[in-house]
Structure 1
Amino acid sequence: MNVYDVNAYYNPQNNEIVFPAGILQEPFYSISASPAENYGGIGTVIAHEITHAFDTVGGKYDEMGNAKNWWTEDDYRNFKERTKRVQEFYDGLEIVAGIESDGELTLFENIADLGAMSCCLEVLSQYENPDYQAFFKSNAVIWRQTLTREMADYFSNVDVHSNSKIRVNRTVVNFDEFSETFGINETDGMYVPPEERVGVW
């Protein structure tokens, strides 16, 4: 990866996360941004990459980067049950007319998005009067995207990340902080009953 790339990754063999200079700037991070904005931006990206150490791929390696089954039977069974729910939650959603999301293809990235959101919301909650609205808006901004129908179709078959709209909207609906901040209730399209919400970590 080049220093100017706007990207980041987790490498399970080295148990490392890598962030080039290209991503350490607006809209992901700014020294003049509020803590809420930076947590919604680069904070969720960092937490996303760390969460990959505990997803369906990274969870097959130990802390030294060796392929190893370190799960207890109960933990792994619970993990598989939760990941199955995540897969179903993100599957079959309309990207554009006639093109749907593939919850199996995007599973480990969706796990990381959910884990990142949970982690950063927990940290932000420790601030006095946390600005959840700024947090969620910042998170939406970093994933904004415009695609032609052809590109949307192509990415729906090869990209392990959910389509940007799904990546943002389908993740935030699992958190009380989102519903409470934006006044989401049973009559709204983005309302998901608490018992139907998903998450792994």
Structure 2
Amino acid sequence: MSEIDLNGVRVLPGLLNRADQVALVEDLRRVVQAAPLFHPVTARGKQMSVRMTSAGDYGWVSDRRGYRYERLHPQGMEWPAIPSIALRVWREVSGVDRPPQCCLVNFYDEGARMGLHQDRDEADFDMPVVSISLGDEALFRVGQTTHGGPTKSIWLRSGDVAVLSGASRLAYHGIDRVKPGSSTLLPQGGRINLTLRVVD
């Protein structure tokens, strides 16, 4: 399937084949063993519905002190290396020479969602954000670079990749819902989303 433009966000359907998806999930199991999933808390003290961890030089964290990148997991361990398949996707689609410094791993179970937000905790907005979807389908919504305005949505399937770059780098985006049982990739169901970023 050809590339889809979603308010400037490039969606590349089925970029990762099934074998690569299976291998990447195995790599992520090792990431989670080294740096366990945790429930972030917003600055207002509300627990997010997704669980997350990270790989790379930095991990993204959120707590009462706000949103930021840290060199260590909240439990004190270093973040593991970014899986090689994720790095290959970055090289294929990012359009930049710099490697990613963070691979944020979000796990959505049934009922988890992510409200519209911007990815703006990074130092250089000329660097893209590359998103990889694994597991159950998710309704991905993209708005404008300011609050309000029309939004567009698409169901992201396992193996799809999205790229936020250029004018869409600061587009508001989120996950409205996940469709349980729509993929057989994860034996217990759910969705994994990886986002690769350059931090500093």
Q: Place the TM-score, normalised by the shorter chain, in its bin.
A: 0.3 to 0.5
Larger radius of gyration: 1
TM superposition score normalised by structure 2: 0.32
TM superposition score normalised by structure 1: 0.32
